[in-house]
Amino acid sequence: MNMKAFKAMLVAVFGLLTGLCLLRPALAVQEALPVQDAPELTFNQLAAKCAPTVHASTMQALVRRESGFNPYAIGVVDGVVSQPKTLEDAIATVKALHKAGKNFSMGLAQINKYNLPKFGLTYETVFEPCQTCNRCSILEDCFNRAGSVDSQVALQKALSCYYSGNFRTGFRQDFKGQPPYVKRIQLAASQNSEEQKLRIPAISVTTPLQGPVKAMVKKTPTAAKIKRQAESDRAVATQAPEKREAAGWDAFGDW
């Protein structure tokens, strides 16, 4: 190799090394960026995205009454079930209930098992919050069939339809000591908040692991009230009877 070629090679190698040195700090900055937690949506933001045809305040009151904002809530007709804490447990629980021949509803809006095929849902997808809210077209369909000029009257009839499959049962007192279902939704709406979140948040990737602690059950007035107000499934399945039976489930898992 002559001297001229050797010098040219040195210049090329030097240029390559210089480029790598200039590039490396940028890569290092990218690697050093901290991992960010997923942003936490409020329920109203979720409702606006996933159920745009239903007012967020109506959706919030409905979900507050149905599941207490627990996306893994399971309500069993004439039965008791331990409320799951994870998606895997929720799926396993409903599959076991199905195998046992139970009638039950699932998710934020408590969609009955008989309605899953109608909405293209499965036991694996029904617990996804947006999927559940999006399928509240049940309420929209009931509203469109209510046949009332007054929109609030139509909404009340639609809530009865969502609850029982007809426009009458939701206006009757079906549980001793409790107001009719439509009134219960109205009362739930009085607790609406713009800051309402789902009970199970997005997982944080930065929060340190906590050591195991002894589980304690505290019977609060709220939990007692929820237990007294336990309800049957909210299906609009065609085979659902008009007369409803109370389901002994606790959406908050305190019992």
pLDDT along the chain (255 residues), means of 10: 56 50 43 54 91 93 95 92 94 96 95 92 95 84 91 95 94 92 96 88 66 38 39 40 42 36
| pLDDT score for 38 | 52
Question: How far is it, in rounded angstroms, from Cα 182 to Cα 250?
Answer: 20
Residue where the block lists tokens 């309420």: 139
DSSP state of 24: H
| pLDDT score for 245 | 43
- Please, which residues bridge with residue 76 across strands? 104
How many other C-beta atoms can be found within 10 angstroms of the C-beta atom of residue 215? 5
| pLDDT score for 133 | 87
| pLDDT score for 123 | 97
Q: One-letter amino acid identity for 235?
A: A
| pLDDT score for 148 | 83
Structure tokens at 8: 């040219």
| pLDDT score for 168 | 96
| pLDDT score for 127 | 96
Specify the pairing of strand 111-112 against strand 74-76: unpaired
Q: Which CATH class is domain 43-201?
A: mainly alpha
Q: Is 65 helix (H, G, I), strand (E, B) or coil?
A: helix
**CA proximity to 147, closest of 156, 137, 136, 138:** 156
Instruction: Report CA-CA distances (Å) from 62 to 9, 72, 74, 234.
Output: 74, 16, 15, 11
